Every structure is written in C-alpha cells, then in structure tokens.
C-alpha cells in the first residue's frame, strides 16, 4: 500500500481486502463495477497469484471484465455460470436496512441482474456511503434511447406524486454526447435529495415505458463491509442481525495497483 494513499482509498482497500476473505476456491463470483469494486478484483487477483485461489468471475461491465482478466481471474458469462455463490460490489449509498443506490458507474442493469442471481450479495464501501435516508446521491435510471425525452417527461410527472424532495432529472453525459451503457442505453439521473419510500419508488419507476431498470437495490444486499482510513473494518450482516469489527494490517510499501498502472 502506497504511503501516499488517501484515507478514502485506504478505506476502500481494507473493505475490499476483508470482503475478499468471503471467497473460497471453486466459487462462482459476481464482480462489481466502480472504484471500490476494482480494489476487490485486484485483491482477488493477488489471491489467485499467491494462494492458487481458483474461481470463476462474472463481471458486471466490460471495464471489470478487462481488469479481472488482467489480474488472472477466469472470466465467464452469467449464462455460463447460471447461478453464483456470491456477488461483491460497491454502492453509492446504503441505509440501515442495507437498501442501496447503485449505478454511479453506469452499470446498474448488469449489477442488479448479477446480484439477484447470487446466493449472497456483499457490498464494500467507505463510511461516506452510509446514509439515514437514500436520495442525496442522484438515482440512476437506465432508459432506452428511443423516445428518451418522452420517458424523461413521464418520470418528471410521476415523481411529483411520490415522497421525494427534488424533481430535477438530467441526462448523463460522456463529454458532449449522451452516456451509453454496455447495453446501448442511456441513463437519466434523478436528483431527488430524499427518498421517503424507496420500495414504492423502485416499483413505480419500472412501470414507466422506456425504463429498463432503476438503481434502487431493495432487499438484495445481505452484508455490508465498511472500511475506515485507519484500517478498521465493520461488517454488518442484515440476515444475522450482527455487526462485528475487524482490522486489516498491510505493508506501507505495497501498492496493489502498481502493475496495472492505476
């Protein structure tokens, strides 16, 4: 670990390192997308190289697939795997019931499909992702390109009747062009500020024509592993109703991403 690593990156690393301990040889593992999930993929690659860990990884984006192959993880498709032992991914927000907002990295559709095709979903995060009520982070909604402005208007009309505080909706951009997901869709970000009833909102959004999926993950996450900048880790298991603490020790001179130029 580089001595120059920021406290937030240290928190992401120790969460990923602790979560990697859930993985055993022979498992089929869903691999998330985003900066925190990238640490997890690298930690698993280290175990593949140093311990002979043998797993099948199902990535949730083309970016994760490339990273996983680079670190030596055997990558397969979800169709090949059919069902997974576990998925480990990051989150943009999580609340006390382990409901999530995901999709900041643009891969919410594949992430939700992979997570729901798993025996367990583990989220790795830093403390800033823990909120009392979801909604401060803009809620991503994946929509098909055809008629996306009509879909946006329908979303604007719908959310006015729901328990939210904000009503701004923006098309996610990639430079001067609309962002395009791995499935060729666009993302509308809903700036709701506060989501009073996440379960209701998730159901309502998916009824709107043109909406493919939304970034609310309700009753999907089983465990959250929260890393801290000092190496402490908290593990909350919603099914067992337990919270435990651990600490990850690491050498200051090791940089897990040095060989990948990240």
For residue 199, what is the domain's CATH number?
Answer: 3.30.70.260
Same domain, 60 and 29: yes
Confidence of residue 1 (pLDDT cuts 50, 70, 90): very low
- 4 falls in which pLDDT band (50, 70, 90)? confident
Q: Is residue 35 part of a domain?
A: yes
Provide the domain limits for residue 87: 7-129+219-250
- CATH number, residue 239: 3.40.50.1360
Whether 27 and 115 share a structural domain: yes
Same domain membership, residue 113 and residue 83 = yes
**Is 128 annotated as a binding-site member?**
no
Please tell me whether 91 is known to bind a ligand.
Answer: yes
- Asked if residue 27 belongs to a domain, the reply is yes
**Are residues 116 and 188 both part of a single domain?**
no
Q: 155, 82 in Cβ contact below 8 A?
A: no
Q: Which listed residue (51, 93, 111, 245) is catalytic?
A: 111
pLDDT at 87 over 50: yes
| 260 within some domain | no
151 is a domain residue: yes
Same-domain pairing of 100 and 169:
no
**pLDDT for res 60:** 98
Task: Specify if 115 maps to a domain.
Answer: yes
Confidence category of residue 251, pLDDT binned at 50, 70, 90:
low
85 and 152 fall within a common domain? no
Q: Is the residue at 1 inside a domain? A: no
Residues forming a β-bridge with 255: none
Number of domains in the chain: 2
Q: Is 111 annotated in the active site? A: yes
Is 129 assigned to a binding site? yes
What confidence score (pLDDT) does residue 5 get? Answer: 80
Whether residues 179 and 233 share a domain: the answer is: no
Q: What sign does the dihedral 13-141-195-122 (CA atoms) show?
A: negative
Query: Of the ranges 28-32, 192-196, 219-223, 253-257, which one carries the lowest mean pLDDT score?
Result: 253-257
Is 57 annotated in some ligand binding site? no
Together in a domain, 240 and 160: no
Tell me the average pLDDT of the chain: 94
Give the whole-number percent of the chain exceeding pLDDT 90: 93
**pLDDT of the residue at 261:** 42
Residues 109, 224, single domain; the answer is yes
Instruction: Please check the confidence at residue 223 and state whether its pLDDT lies above 80.
Output: yes
Residue 134 resides in a domain: no
pLDDT of residue 253: 34
Asked if pLDDT for residue 96 goes beyond 60, the answer is yes
Q: Tell me, yes or no, whether 143 and 228 share the same domain.
A: no
Q: Based on the fold, state whether residues 240 and 207 are members of the same structural domain.
A: no
């Amino acid at each position: 670990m580089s001595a120059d690593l920021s406290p937030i990156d240290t928190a992401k690393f120790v969460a990923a390192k602790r979560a990697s301990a859930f993985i055993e040889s022979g498992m089929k593992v869903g691999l998330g997308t985003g900066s925190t999930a990238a640490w997890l993929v690298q930690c698993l690659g280290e175990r593949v190289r140093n311990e002979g860990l043998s797993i099948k990884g199902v990535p949730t984006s083309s970016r994760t697939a490339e990273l996983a192959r680079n670190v030596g993880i055997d990558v397969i498709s979800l169709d090949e795997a059919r069902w997974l032992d576990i998925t480990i991914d990051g989150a943009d927000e999580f609340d006390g019931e382990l409901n999530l907002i995901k999709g900041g990295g643009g891969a919410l559709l594949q992430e939700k499909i992979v997570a729901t095709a798993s025996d367990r979903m583990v989220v790795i995060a830093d403390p800033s992702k823990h909120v009392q009520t979801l909604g401060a982070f803009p809620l991503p909604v994946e929509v098909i390109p055809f008629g996306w402005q009509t879909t946006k208007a329908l979303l604007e009309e719908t959310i006015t009747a729901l328990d939210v505080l904000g009503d701004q909706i923006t098309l996610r951009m990639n430079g001067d062009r609309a962002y395009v997901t791995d499935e060729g869709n666009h993302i509308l970000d809903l700036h709701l500020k506060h989501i009073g009833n996440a379960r209701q909102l998730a159901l309502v959004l998916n009824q709107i024509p043109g909406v493919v999926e939304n970034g609310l993950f309700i009753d999907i996450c089983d465990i959250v592993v929260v890393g801290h900048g000092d190496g402490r880790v908290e593990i909350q298991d919603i099914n067992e109703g337990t919270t435990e603490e651990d600490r990850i020790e690491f050498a200051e001179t090791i940089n897990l991403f040095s060989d990948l130029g990240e």
